[in-house]
Amino acid sequence: MKKIVLLRHGESLWNKENRFTGWTDVDLSDKGVEEGYEAGNLLKEAGISFQMAYASYLKRAVKTLNCVLDRMNADWIPVFKSWRLNEKHYGALQGLNKSETAARYGNEQVHIWRRSYDVAPMPLKDSDPESPINDVRYSHVPLCDLPRTESLKDAIMRVIPYWECEIFPRLTVVDNILVVAHGNSLRGIVKYLKGISDTDIANLNIPTAMPYVFEFDESLNFVRDYYLGDPEKIKQMQDAVANQGIAKK
């Protein structure tokens, strides 16, 4: 069976502080680094070896990938990076604490911003130093393609062309591919692969650094998906992600 493994980056410094991150280039926490190495252990134990890997342009994904490859003694494999794998752009919410935002705007509104299919938060201004239009790493991307905010639908519209044209066709020449990205860019890929409805996708939460395996037969038909690791721990981590946007009592 051919495999593409999706991996959300390990805990970032802003995950730890429960802040909306989006395209902000925040580093991993010490725990996030450990999680990256632990993902490498799980993949090694499962006997999976990769011939190529992908990451976003954000250091929390790149550094998680490096931890995994280091642990698997696979630092040498070809790695491709793309802005198209970046997290959903969280607009003007970037940097704000999620539960404080819920206390201000209500749990329901924050849930809509985090998990609705087609509602985007307020945009980040072009004059904001954090805007991607002021960031040299995106200077090759047409201005009209650079987001100021995104819904999940918007994020899917930039991620899926990259999946269809660049990542997935590689399975014709290699057996196993690793994709390290983000909670929402990966939710978009999972929605596309499993045909999850616009409504049901709201219930999908992806834990940090738990390898999520998608298997394909020789004709590249999707066969099955499963996480590596302790199912109880994965469930707890998914619930914790879901609850990040709830106001503290």
Ligand X SMILES: O=C(O)[C@H](O)COP(=O)(O)O
Residues that bind ligand X (CB under 6 A): 20-22, 87, 90, 114, 182-184, 241, 244
Question: Is residue 163 annotated as involved in ligand binding?
Answer: no
Active-site option among 35, 38, 87, 150: 87
- Cα 62 to chain centroid distance, Å, stands at 11
Closer of 38 and 87 to ligand X (Cβ): 87
Closer of 71 and 115 to ligand X (Cβ): 115
Residues in a beta bridge with 226? 213
Closer of 3 and 89 to ligand X (Cβ): 89
Residue 111 catalytic? no
Question: Is residue 98 annotated as involved in ligand binding?
Answer: yes
The one-letter code for the residue type at 150 is: E
Residue 108 catalytic? no
What distance in Å separates the CA atoms of residue 203 and residue 198, rounded to the nearest whole number? 10
Smallest gap from Cβ 120 to ligand X, in A, equals 12
Helix (H/G/I), strand (E/B), else coil: 75: coil
What distance in Å separates the CA atoms of residue 191 and residue 185, rounded to the nearest whole number? 10
Q: Strand ranges (DSSP E) for 66-166?
A: 79-81
Question: Is residue 89 annotated as involved in ligand binding?
Answer: yes
Active-site option among 9, 38, 150, 182: 9
Question: Is residue 183 annotated as involved in ligand binding?
Answer: yes
Smallest gap from Cβ 248 to ligand X, in A, equals 16
Closer of 3 and 147 to ligand X (Cβ): 147
186-221 b/e with 16+ CB inside 10 Å = b? bbbbbbebeeeeeeebbebbbbbbbbbbbebeeeee
Tell me the catalytic residues: 9, 87
Detail the residues annotated as belonging to a binding site for substrate: 8-15, 21-22, 60, 87-90, 98, 114-115, 183-184
